[in-house]
Amino acid sequence: MGSRFGKLFSLTTFGESHGGGVGVVVDGCPARLPIQVEELQHDLNRRRPGQSILTTPRAEADVVEILSGVFEGHTLGTPIGLLVRNQDARASAYEPMKDIYRPSHADYTTEAKYGIRNWQGGGRASARETIGRVAAGAIARKLLKHIADIEVLAWVQSVQDIAGEIDPGQVTLAEVEASPTRCPDPQAAARMFQRIDEARRNQDSLGGVVQCVARRVPAGLGEPVFDKLEADLAHALMSLPASKGFEIGSGFAGSLLSGSQHNDAFIPGPDGRPRTRTNRSGGVQGGISNGEDIVLRIAFKPTATISQPQETVDTSNRAVQLEAQGRHDPCVLPRAVPMVEAMVCLVLVDHLLRQRGQDILPRSR
């Protein structure tokens, strides 16, 4: 099962949504990085359930325990083990559905692959698995800041057809966190809140788009051909639960422009390095960062679990009607924001360490 991610800075997540707990083992983090459990907990608090009426009411504090790899507030350079114990698991709530394939879930496909599945919730396909990613991403975030002053920030750009007007170069964390929707445009956030709450009351769900910016990323990160920076970012973000689309820079809209309209003209930079007048490339050219802000978007489908009656089949291939019961988000977008940030941090720190490892000989200029 593909539970490992990264090359130099790597992580392996473990656990199921209704098991004893979930967690992650992080390997490749350099020694002597100052890190406190509160820094990990901060990002996990942004991901946890029960934050508002827009999220699942599952009562989980998601308190993280550091099992290994950190001593007296510093990393040891050894594997870092992190664990979050499940406190409010209700596996019995899923027993009536254990022989039913829930629409747009991983029930059927998991059983088709392995011949067995944990029917207690989503198992490994549950968004609860992302706890390990977010905890590991918090370590990666600290390392990015410590080494290169890189900042990664995401927000809800749109819910259904409601889109915010947001400048990626200016948006702040305080603006993102000002609304439970995590949209920094107050007018759009108010409309999003009403739309999501309406879907919740109608026992339905909504999807949308999260946008993310990585600031002060140095030029030179990424590898040509198969390990292009945007390819690894797409891999990371499309591995998130409910993700259905990825764009960077101009994305699909760029296909409507001509080359003369789309090209980013180079201009002299104040630090002696070239800059680009525009950023339609989204901070990546030829698979390698160019020193501009990396700007990307990830689309999320509506939450698959809804309480309305739905047609489906059981494990004997008989047609049945499902009225799913349980606790779920009417829209995954607000809680997906820290997940997106985590995956971007993990990709960038891995490529930053790879670049530092290969760029060891003197340059001629």
Side-chain-facing half-sphere of 65: CA atoms under 13 Å: 7
Query: Per-residue confidence at 18, pLDDT binned at 50, 70, 90?
Result: confident
What average pLDDT score do residues 208-221 get?
98
- pLDDT computed for residue 119 by the predictor: 86
Instruction: Give yes or no for a contact between 176 and 259, defined as CB atoms under 8 angstroms apart.
Output: no
- pLDDT computed for residue 188 by the predictor: 98
What average pLDDT score do residues 184-211 get?
96
Question: Hey, CA dihedral for 14, 122, 43, 170, is it positive or negative?
Answer: positive
- DSSP character string of 187-229: HHHHHHHHHHHHHHHTT--B-EEEEEEEESPPTT-S-SGGG-H
Task: Look at residue 332 and tell me whether its pLDDT is greater than 80.
Answer: yes
3-state secondary structure 254-319: HHHCCHHHHCCCEEECCCCCEEECCCCCCCEECCEECCCCEEEEEEECCCCCCCCCEEEEECCCCE
Considering the entire predicted model, what is its pTM? 0.95
* Mean residue pLDDT across the chain: 93
DSSP structure class, residue 321: E
Sequence-ordered list of residues with C-beta below 8 angstroms from that of 227, at least 6 positions apart, any chain: 287
Question: Hey, CA dihedral for 121, 126, 130, 132, is it positive or negative?
Answer: positive
Sequence-ordered list of residues with C-beta below 8 angstroms from that of 47, at least 6 positions apart, any chain: 62, 130, 131, 134, 335, 338, 339
Q: How far is Cα 124 from Cα 155, in angstroms, rounded to an integer?
A: 25
In this structure, which CATH number among 3.60.150.10, 3.40.50.2000, 3.90.110.10, 3.40.1280.10 belongs to the domain 4-358?
A: 3.60.150.10
Buried b (16+ CB within 10 A) or exposed e, 235-259: ebbeebbbbebbbbbbeeeeeeeee
Query: Per-residue confidence at 365, pLDDT binned at 50, 70, 90?
Result: low
pLDDT digits (tens, 9 = 90+) for 265-322: 999 999 889 999 999 999 999 999 999 999 999 999 999 988 889 999 999 999 999 8
Q: Which residue has the higher pLDDT, 285 or 59?
A: 285
Q: Which amino acid is at 321?
A: Q
- pLDDT computed for residue 295 by the predictor: 98
- pLDDT computed for residue 5 by the predictor: 97
Could you tell me which of 230, 357, 217 has the C-alpha nearest to residue 298? 230
